[in-house]
Structure 1
Amino acid sequence: MKKSFLAIAIGLFGFTATMNAQESVMFGAKGGANFATFAGDGVNAWNDPSGRTSFHLGMLAEIPLSERFSIQPEVLYSGQGYDISNRNNADDIEYQLDYINVPVIAKVYVFDGFALEAGPQVGFLVKSEVDYKPSTVNEGDISLNEDQFNTVDFSVALGASYKFRGGFFLSGRYNIGLSDIYDDSFANNIFSGADAKHSVIQAGVGFMF
């Protein structure tokens, strides 16, 4: 799985590097907050409106195809999952599923700097655990059997961004999961048959260079 992700990442950014001779392709970095939960039926905990608060961080390239239309491939580390329990005066208990996400975003500039965004996204599961002390590092982590999950996740990203002169930009995005999170073929999977998909709101900042 990691080799597959590496091949995709190299392919995407190798392609944009070859196009950089046009001098219009821009590279950048972005990061920000994730507000993640599960969507679907099957477990009442998924209805927790607060969800898991985490982060996303990664690289991107914007490839202009016309004055108002661009394609933007990205490679992002994304913390997803949901809150199992919200405890007063203590850490929440988090169900943590982290992915390397590779969205390919179509950007339509409505006016100078402001763009609407949409596109497909594929994610590769890199961490699965329950954390009952999420505010501390390397404490409270209980690893989950990765075999119970579908390790490749597909979703659709919808959002908007605003790019300022100089390269600084703001972005907001909603990732709508299309794939089932759990693998029904895994033996003794208590979530077998459950309709569980990722639902992630992202708010971020970045810089194009």
Structure 2
Amino acid sequence: MKKFLLSICCAFAVTSAFSQTTYGVRGGIGFASLSSSSGNLSVGSGSTTTFAAGLFADVKTSTNVSIQPGIYYAGKGGNYKSGGVEADFKTYYLQVPVNVVYHVPATFGGVYFGVGPYVAFGLNGKVKASDGTNSESMDVTFGSDGDFKRVDAGFNGIAGFEFKNGFLLGINYDLGLTDIGNDGTAEVSTKNRVFGISAGFKF
């Protein structure tokens, strides 16, 4: 983990050698859910509201195309209701996406959209269970003996508006491709899904 974080820091430092590299901050709310499947049967959870915030670099490779690596504290999870009992999972990851972004110039600034892979490492989380009368909150754990596997990976898409003053408005979608479930069997596969709305600023 430490080696991985060091390599990410080095990658950000190397981008400073490019004259067309800019940096930014981005944050917003997310509507996260969990998708579980077994054979031909697929079941999705309800959504839980969470958030994400972090930093990114924008490295121009041509007039309209750039590479955007980033590092974010990103929320995921899901909400389950059954028999009058509700369980709300909120999990938080250190997420590193690398997007290829296409920029379309406009009078106000421009429109952007992109796609790329991400890898995320589970840090912490909470599950709150309630039957309408009583509620209980417990920690969510990651790792071989935890509630979820430590690593999540998949693809994410981004789109939005970039204004001339550097202000950003956008949406994003994370499509988890790895099974994060830790039930000890391969019969059920559980994956993260997140739709987000964000605002930010590019310097």
Q: Which residues of 2 match residues 5-16 of structure 1 at below 5 A?
A: 5-16=4-15
What stretches of structure 1 move > 4 A for 4+ residues in a row? none
In 1: Cα distance, 2:6 partner to 2:142 partner: 25
Secondary structure at the counterpart of residue 159 of structure 2: strand
Asked if the contact 1:5–1:124 (Cα under 8 Å) also holds between the matched residues in 2, the reply is no
Q: Which residue of 2 aligns with 1:114?
A: 111
Q: CA deviation at 1:65?
A: 1.0
Q: CA deviation at 1:52?
A: 1.2
Match status 1:69 vs 2:65? yes
Secondary structure at the counterpart of residue 166 of structure 1: coil
Q: CA deviation at 1:45?
A: 11
Asked if the contact 1:37–1:46 (Cα under 8 Å) also holds between the matched residues in 2, the reply is no
Q: Which residues of 2 match residues 120-159 of structure 1 at below 5 A?
A: 120-132=117-129, 140-144=137-141, 146-147=143-144, 148=146, 149-159=148-158
Secondary structure at the counterpart of residue 189 of structure 2: coil
Structure showing the higher strand proportion among its residues: 2
Give per-residue Cα distances to partners, 1:39-96, cap 9 Å, x unaligned.
2325x99533x411100000011111111001111101111010133999xxx63212
Q: Which residue of 2 aligns with 1:165?
A: 164
* Contiguous gaps of at least 5 residues in structure 2: 131-135
Counterpart amino acid of residue 190 in structure 2: A
Asked if the contact 1:45–1:83 (Cα under 8 Å) also holds between the matched residues in 2, the reply is no
Asked if the contact 1:39–1:198 (Cα under 8 Å) also holds between the matched residues in 2, the reply is yes
Counterpart amino acid of residue 30 in structure 1: R
| Structure 2 CA distance for partners of 1:98 and 1:17, relative to 1, 3 Å | same
Q: Which residue of 1 aligns with 2:90?
A: 96
In 2: Cα distance, 1:199 partner to 1:152 partner: 14
| Structure 2 CA distance for partners of 1:30 and 1:16, relative to 1, 3 Å | same
In 2: Cα distance, 1:77 partner to 1:121 partner: 13
Q: Which residue of 1 aligns with 2:76?
A: 80
Q: Which residue of 2 aligns with 1:60?
A: 56
In 1: Cα distance, 2:7 partner to 2:118 partner: 12
Q: Which residue of 1 aligns with 2:25?
A: 29
Residues matched between the structures, number = 191
Q: CA deviation at 1:97?
A: 2.0
| Structure 2 CA distance for partners of 1:129 and 1:190, relative to 1, 3 Å | farther
Give per-residue Cα distances to partners, 1:90-111, cap 9 Å, x unaligned.
xx63212211110001111234
> What's the % identity of the aligned pairs?
28
| Structure 2 CA distance for partners of 1:69 and 1:123, relative to 1, 3 Å | same
Match status 1:105 vs 2:102? no
Q: Which residue of 1 aligns with 2:133?
A: none
Asked if the contact 1:45–1:84 (Cα under 8 Å) also holds between the matched residues in 2, the reply is no
Secondary structure at the counterpart of residue 18 of structure 1: coil
Asked if the contact 1:35–1:51 (Cα under 8 Å) also holds between the matched residues in 2, the reply is yes
Structure showing the higher helix proportion among its residues: 1
TM-score (norm 2): 0.82
In 2: Cα distance, 1:60 partner to 1:207 partner: 10
| Structure 2 CA distance for partners of 1:200 and 1:8, relative to 1, 3 Å | farther
